[in-house]
Chain A
């Protein structure tokens, strides 16, 4: 399979990329990391810059359709972009339309790939931080990933998993929204941070580092000892503490 690592993992959380590779290789899979991959184009797409989004999407399609293997993405949001928005973006494009649909059909978010494609649940790991799961919006509502990440987490963490109140409410990241509408985004983040404090967790887990970058930045600003972990790091047994 191919790993589309996403721009944020590549530049901000390289350890998450390592964790994904390590988990997949431990499952005996041959992981290919296409070297020319950059950004899926979602920031431009969500900002309304359709031409720029299409340019980045074409670059990504070129890189990921050079081989026929499934594509694993450690981000529900970027996977949603490829699965739901690429086909829409190239609906009337004779060249990229079919390739976008082909790519969409074999692109999977990390936990979705483990549960729905491989049908594996990772081994239990009773020791480690108490984990609260935040459901990232685009994976949850765009790809319908309600159970898959939770099943993976419960398999690994068991009793270490805590309930996060309003786990399915947006953390306020929203890409450029966090920069363009900082007051609203900050208010949403505050509500999320309060919920995390209430949960009693030592670490927040999500399928997307975008949310984790946002939540993590808020936790650090508050001086909270709570850490953020990508779900692949939990499966790989990484602690980052």
Chain B
């Protein structure tokens, strides 16, 4: 099956699931409303967003420099830096780290980049058991599912689904999954054992700070803090765009990240991790730091990101992964995250997937938008997502990845529309034909590729005489001497 056909099938499946659609719509509305309120609580959120955009634009324009600075400073603090050009490189690096350290169990906090490189599968294949510790991701893992939202991975699951899953897969007793608090407590008990036994903790990176060599991780459940402090080895996997110049810049972005994502002023836990533990007198900037893991590895992943860096999609690298564009997107609200096929759904995913992985397999995603612009309105760093979707559509048209009838029809339409007399004449002919098949001024079934319109709405028959025709006739009459 072609990728397009598979995409349309996923859309149909998603739309048929009214239960999930209702849950999704109400959760998205709640998140979007909270975001609105949270931004309103700032003295001048527009100015802050402008500032955040400037920071991201400046960083991405000088990305090589800031990545080098970050790497140098993080290494000085005792971190090991690894560069991974591809997903395969990234997983190989993490597998090697695990092998060298003799790891058999790894705990993991929520990270989309590790979903992107399919790290869990690679580690499991190498004999390392991986346990997701974010509650949502834990449910995803237990259910052999995939996250459907970059912030709320199980927004497609209801409480009852999770209760049943825990009973079936983890042997939970009914009273252990009676309500959300019980389910959470059950997951905590299960996960606590793994936290204490794991030799490796794997996290993502929300932002890396170049001038201090720190990585920042925000979570709401505290699992991120356990993941990055309890096990003896911490592996932080970051997309290479996730760097900011200074801690002050981080402060600007943090003010917007949680507000845009969930409407919180800050997430419950904000961890700034600056190197592993080091004994006093060790000569490291961390000397005398008694806490943290013995080793921290930062794996900086490209995986197609630099392909976007020099082209018209560079703006997409400003993204701080808040998910606000998903929450307001009417398309996402109806079809949910799984329909998009990739790791990143919604408007940002419709740019990131083809941007990183290439248009050939992902040319349908940028078409799945009405270009309503709701995403652009809420983006904390003001990414012009509709413009990026249009850029991808132009690339798709250029490379003939668009349907044949458009490739044929559009130049024809342009040729006619640039010949006004022909345009009016053909319009009248089309109106005549339409009135032949219309009933009461409406067409119930359009032919060929246009049948999509009449799948769910009637089509009005065009007027027999256009506005311009009748207007000119009338004016002609009034101008004629009587």
Whether chains A and B associate is: yes
Q: Does A56 contact B (CB under 8 A)?
A: yes
Give the residues in chain A near B460, CB-CB below 8 Å: 12, 213, 216-217
A49→B406 contact, CB < 8 A: yes
Counting chain B residues whose Cβ lies within 8 A of the other chain, the interface size class is 35 or more
| Partner pick for A180 among B15, B398, B452, B468, CB 8 A cutoff | B452
CB distance from B228 to the nearest CB of A (A): 40
Closest CB-CB distance, B405 to chain A, in whole Å?
10
Q: Are B456 and A14 touching (Cβ within 8 A)?
A: no
> In the complex the two chains form, what is the Cα distance from A44 to B417 in whole Å?
11
Nearest Cβ distance between residue B355 and chain A, in whole angstroms?
Answer: 15
Contact with B along A10-23 (1 / 0, CB 8 A): 11111011100100
CA of A141 to CA of B449, assembled, Å: 30
| A218 vs B398: C-alpha distance when bound (angstroms) | 33
Evaluate whether A217 and B393 lie within 8 angstroms (CB atoms) in the complex, with A52-B413, A170-B372, A170-B374 already known: no
Contact of B442 among A33, A184, A220 (CB under 8 A): A220
Q: What is the bound-complex CA distance between A178 and B450, given in angstroms?
A: 9
**Binding stretch for chain B, among A35-43, A100-108, A109-117:** A35-43
> Known contacts being A182-B456, A186-B456, is A56 close to B414, with CB within 8 Å?
yes
Interface bits B255-295 vs A (CB < 8 Å: 1, else 0): 00000000000000000000000000000000000000000
B323-336 contact mask (Cβ, 8 Å, vs A): 1 or 0: 00000001100110
* Chain A residues with CB under 8 A of B377: 141
Determine whether the beta carbon of B452 is less than 8 Å from that of A178. Answer: yes
Q: Point out the residues of chain A lying under 8 angstroms from B396, CB to CB.
A: 48
Q: Give B216 Cβ to nearest chain A Cβ, in Å.
A: 32
B334 contact set on A, CB distance < 8 A = 184, 187-188, 191
Chain A nearest Cβ from B434, distance in angstroms: 10
**Cβ < 8 Å to A, chain B residues 311-345:** 330-331, 334-335
In the bound complex, what is the Cα–Cα distance between A37 and B253 (angstroms)?
A: 47
| Partner of A184 from B15, B414, B462, B467 at Cβ < 8 Å | B15
- Return chain A residues, CB-CB under 8 Å to B12: 183
Given the interface pairs A48-B394, A56-B418, the reply to whether A184 lies near B335 with Cβ below 8 Å is yes
A13 to chain B, nearest CB (A): 8
Question: Which residues on A sit within 8 Å (CB–CB) of B411?
Answer: 49, 51-52
- B470, A14: Cβ atoms closer than 8 Å: yes
Please indicate the chain B residues that have their CB under 8 angstroms from the CB of A37 in the complex: 420, 468
List A contacts of B136 (CB < 8 A).
Answer: none
Q: What sequence of 0s and 1s flags, for each residue 161-190 of chain A, a beta carbon within 8 Å of any chain B beta carbon?
A: 000000001101111111111111111111
Contact with B along A40-65 (1 / 0, CB 8 A): 01011111111111011011000000
A217 and B414 contacting across the interface, CB-CB below 8 Å: no
Interface residue? B390 (CB, 8 A): yes
Within B328-383, the residues touching A (CB, 8 Å) are 330-331, 334-335, 367-374, 376-377
What is the size category of the interface that chain A forms with chain B? 35 or more
Query: A181 contacts which chain B residues (CB < 8 A)?
Result: 11, 367-368, 452
Partner pick for A174 among B371, B398, B402, CB 8 A cutoff? B371
Residues from chain B with Cβ under 8 Å of A213 in the complex: 460
Instruction: Classify the secondary structure of B's interface with A.
Output: helix
Q: CB-CB < 8 A to B47: which residues of A?
A: none
Total residue contacts A-B, CB cutoff 8 A: 196
**A177/B417 contact (C-beta < 8 A), A50-B394, A182-B455, A217-B457 known:** no
B46 within 8 A of A: no
Contacting pair A50 B397 (CB below 8 A): yes
Residue of B nearest to A39 (CB): B417
CB distance from A135 to the nearest CB of B (A): 10
Q: When the two chains form the complex, which single residue of A44, A169, A189, A217 contacts B410, counting CB atoms closer than 8 Å?
A: A44
- B390:A172 contact, CB within 8 angstroms: no
Say yes or no: A33-B453 contact (C-beta < 8 A), given A12-B463, A38-B420, A220-B458: no
* Interface positions of B (Cβ within 8 A of A): 8, 11-12, 15, 330-331, 334-335, 367-374, 376-377, 390, 392-398, 402-403, 406, 410-411, 413-415, 417-418, 420, 423, 427, 431, 442, 449-450, 452-453, 455-460, 462-463, 465-468, 470-472
28 A-B pairs within 8 Å (CB atoms) are namely A5-B468, A7-B417, A9-B467, A10-B468, A11-B431, A11-B462, A17-B467, A33-B468, A37-B468, A39-B417, A43-B410, A46-B390, A47-B397, A48-B392, A50-B397, A51-B411, A137-B373, A141-B376, A170-B370, A176-B406, A178-B453, A180-B367, A180-B403, A181-B367, A184-B331, A190-B456, A217-B442, A221-B456
The 5 A-B pairs at the shortest CB distance, nearest first, are namely A174-B370, A48-B393, A186-B456, A182-B452, A217-B457
